[in-house]
Structure 1
């Protein structure tokens, strides 16, 4: 039986709303989605200010919901399930999405479903023109998370490795800040890196030869700081570009080689790359080249769905329901989970 799932994402600095249609089998269809990013608001502070983020979510979520319903030519009363990001993320920001979702569902007399933010990213390539098939290895590189997962099906995830300190996204952002670049730092560093020589600075590749699938980027950040201090008083655009390129090369090499190692260890022939860092062109180029040599298929979300968005939340909820992993419930008392691991079979 077909059903409409409304998804709300508010875990950090993007407010996302989307509507998907599920037929109970196959990949749910994305009918419409809308997104508001707070990047300009937080740029003056050099990073996300949680209180400002929460207040902006309050202003944006209902207008975005109306926009999505209008785009899909639907009315709120036709929504069958309201899904929202339950965690991980900023507590205040999560509470906005959860509160609005549960209030809407209660008013409609419809069930709700809290979704894991990283599960949304992990499943988002199913909305692409080249969706994956289970099982696969997933490289999750979203904000403060860098993880390698073995994905056997919806709700069945095994953690293979994760960062023990800074995540890849944090390494990009913090290195960009050291280079005097704007917020968000990752895309700014990648743009500057296009003009630099990635072999100029011999930066560390932490845990590259550790024998396991864990990550560490704190040491790389310290090395970038050491080099950046040498620029003080004598700024050189080419030197900054070379350091940006060298930093990106170090991060990308670690992500690529660890992903290949995970594929080799498991024998799987599909790799899914999801999360904001997954939009990085250098990472995609190196992963594509390495995987092509091994006969491995690589799948990415559409570029517009790499960052946080409501589509991935609505999709994850619909896929969990269709797979009978979890049923939505008409219970409107809610909580959020700012810290919430994604390494067990059934999320509870």
Structure 2
């Protein structure tokens, strides 16, 4: 059983082949055109997807060692994401499926991030039900309770900005290039996380807020640069370490609250920010200190990728959950939909 997964929700064009839950290929084409604009430009993203999707799918099939005629179904991201980008993947999936006379399976991008944990890999363990997943990315920050593959409940979420945006905007304040989140992680390893203090927002036990933190960081940097124009250059590593420490502390505080409220100690992370080295380290320590069992995805399955779309499509395929050709892309889609 071969499932082709197609991911085109934002600025990465990706295609993957999964055979009975095992990844045979996972090809990703990044779009570097957005770096000079300091963020993703939707129109440029959709144009790049149009250029990349055919060669990316062709490469995925080639690396998997199969022909397109061997495919059992095509899974694609139907949302959430940038509408123009989603339309490229949706249209391509429908066209190829019609030509091959095989079913299509629309996939919720946020569910796919969580279900990436069910990719069969000897180096990874799969969480048992129920478990809690902290889904952290550039567009989402949520705590989700998962009762089965497709029964999910949002326990808490951000009331304003996502954690990935907090990392990227903080990096922009420091004059770092886009995307800045990975650079903060890199420089934080060389700095003192206790060098500077940033206040943590006061919101509900399981909810998040990052807009105030971003503003606090902006005012702090502006004040310090006014006092010393060389402040950022002289303290970059310590500032990055302090910012990262504060953000990770917020995430860990919410997870501790979740465990107390739900009494579920199987904790997973998913989404692009789950690649952050500090949150990974803190989760490993949580196993020792608090008796949690944690599930951390491989790096290649954290950022947007088609393997997570393919595994979700595979799980839906097993339940005969196909999508009609009338299925349309949706820019906004909750993880429970």
TM-score by length of 1: 0.92
Q: Distance in 2 between matches of 1:215 and 1:139?
A: 12
Equivalent position of 2:168 in the other structure:
173
Equivalent position of 1:280 in the other structure:
276
Equivalent position of 1:259 in the other structure:
255
Give the length in aligned residue pairs.
331
Helix, strand or coil: the match of 1:200?
coil
Alignment deviations for residues 262-301 of structure 1 (CA, whole Å, 9 cap, x no partner): 1221111211111111011111111221232222111111
- 1:73 Cα deviation after fit: 1.0
The question of 1:183 aligning with 2:183 is answered no
Equivalent position of 1:17 in the other structure:
15
- 1:224 Cα deviation after fit: 0.7
- 1:132 Cα deviation after fit: 2.0
- 1:133 Cα deviation after fit: 2.0
The question of 1:311 aligning with 2:304 is answered no
Equivalent position of 1:91 in the other structure:
83
Q: Distance in 2 between matches of 1:200 and 1:108?
A: 59
- 1:321 Cα deviation after fit: 2.6
Helix, strand or coil: the match of 2:304?
coil
In structure 1, which of residues 231, 235, 238 is the aligned counterpart of residue 225 of structure 2? 231
The question of 1:213 aligning with 2:213 is answered no
- 1:256 Cα deviation after fit: 1.0
- 1:243 Cα deviation after fit: 1.8
The question of 1:154 aligning with 2:171 is answered no
- 1:245 Cα deviation after fit: 1.3
- 1:327 Cα deviation after fit: 1.3
* Correspondence list, 1:1-348, <5 A: 3-22=1-20, 28-38=21-31, 40-127=32-119, 128=121, 129-130=123-124, 131-207=126-202, 210-229=203-222, 230-231=224-225, 234-236=229-231, 237-322=233-318, 324=319, 327-329=321-323, 331-343=324-336, 347=337
Equivalent position of 1:25 in the other structure:
none
- 1:125 Cα deviation after fit: 1.9
- Give structure 2 stretches of 5+ with no counterpart: none
Instruction: Check whether the contact 2:316–2:322 (CA below 8 A) recurs between aligned residues.
Output: no
Alignment deviations for residues 286-336 of structure 1 (CA, whole Å, 9 cap, x no partner): 1221232222111111111110000000001111232x2x6114x323311
Helix, strand or coil: the match of 1:89?
coil
Q: Distance in 1 between matches of 2:204 and 2:97?
A: 48
Alignment deviations for residues 83-131 of structure 1 (CA, whole Å, 9 cap, x no partner): 1000000010000000000000011111101100011100112225222
- 1:211 Cα deviation after fit: 4.8
Helix, strand or coil: the match of 2:225?
coil
Q: Distance in 2 between matches of 1:120 and 1:88?
A: 11
Q: Distance in 1 between matches of 2:117 and 2:241?
A: 28
Instruction: Check whether the contact 1:17–1:65 (CA below 8 A) recurs between aligned residues.
Output: yes
- 1:41 Cα deviation after fit: 1.5
Instruction: Check whether the contact 2:145–2:153 (CA below 8 A) recurs between aligned residues.
Output: yes
Helix, strand or coil: the match of 1:182?
coil
Helix, strand or coil: the match of 2:193?
coil
Residues 282, 60 of structure 1: alpha-carbon distance in 2 compared, 3 angstrom cutoff: same
Q: Distance in 1 between matches of 2:62 and 2:139?
A: 34
231-240 or 219-228, which deviates more: 231-240
Helix, strand or coil: the match of 1:44?
helix
